[in-house]
Amino acid sequence: MSNQNWLTLLREKKAIAVIRTSCKSLGYQMAQAVAAGGVSVIEITWNSDCAPELISQMRTELPNCIIGTGTLMNLEQLQQAIDAGAQFLFSPHVETRLIEAAVTAGVPIVPGAMSPTEIITAWNAGASSVKVFPIQAVGGASYIKALQGPLGQIPLIPTGGVTIGNAQEFMEAGAIAVGLAGDLFPKPLISKGDWEAIAQRARTLMQKLSS
């Protein structure tokens, strides 16, 4: 996927479901639930149980979704993720070697950054967009808005504190898309296996983002 196609996808879909799980079968159910609720960009974190197998399985069973991975820490993991079929790559940090390797492979990469210096460094190295993380720790939507003046040309994806309730605020502040993890997958619902309730949370999120 080219960077331009990736950005077009983000502008259209607006939300990324971030799945981190210690049980492959739960990860499978979580992905199926949010897909049923209309979230079609799904990140399976690399530190999830059987992440490569889960990515491959989701690519097959959810052909209308875009399946990627995150929490990539080094070049070995990045290459393994590409080999597993990940369609996009997230990392929690800025490392130019990772960015360059992803660019060479033709897979969109989204490094995690916090400061303007980190964001610009990632962008200049070839990042397709930049994850601003953890966003709530640095002011939430107001921080994204403040970055728009000097860095408005860089597509930003806030994560780490984005909720169904505040997701639209981040979009209005200038984010190209948002990433949600815990608020989309409340632990009590996961424990009960209430997948319809999680699908409904995904529907609510998409309704709010389309309003």
The C-alpha atoms of residue 211 and residue 207 are separated, in whole angstroms, by: 6
pLDDT at 211: 77
DSSP string spanning 101-139? HHHHHT--EEEEE-SHHHHHHHHHHT-SSEEETTGGGGT
Q: Length of the chain, please?
A: 211
Give how far Cα 89 sits from Cα of 36, 122, 167, 172, Å: 23, 14, 21, 25
pLDDT tens string 95-136: 999 999 999 999 999 999 999 999 999 999 999 999 999 999
Count other C-beta atoms under 10 Å from residue 114's C-beta. Answer: 18
Q: What is the pLDDT of residues 55-98, one digit of tens each?
A: 999 999 999 999 999 999 999 999 999 999 999 999 999 999 99
Q: What is the reported pTM?
A: 0.96
Residues 168-182 have a mean pLDDT of 98
Taking the domains of the chain in order of start, what are their residue ranges?
A: 3-205
CA distance 10 to 72: 20
CA-based radius of gyration for the chain: 16
Q: Does domain 3-205 have CATH number 3.20.20.70?
A: yes
pLDDT for 134 equals: 93
Share above pLDDT 70 across residues of the chain, in percent, rounded to a whole number: 100
DSSP reduced 3-state for 20? coil
Report, as an integer, the average pLDDT of 5-11: 97
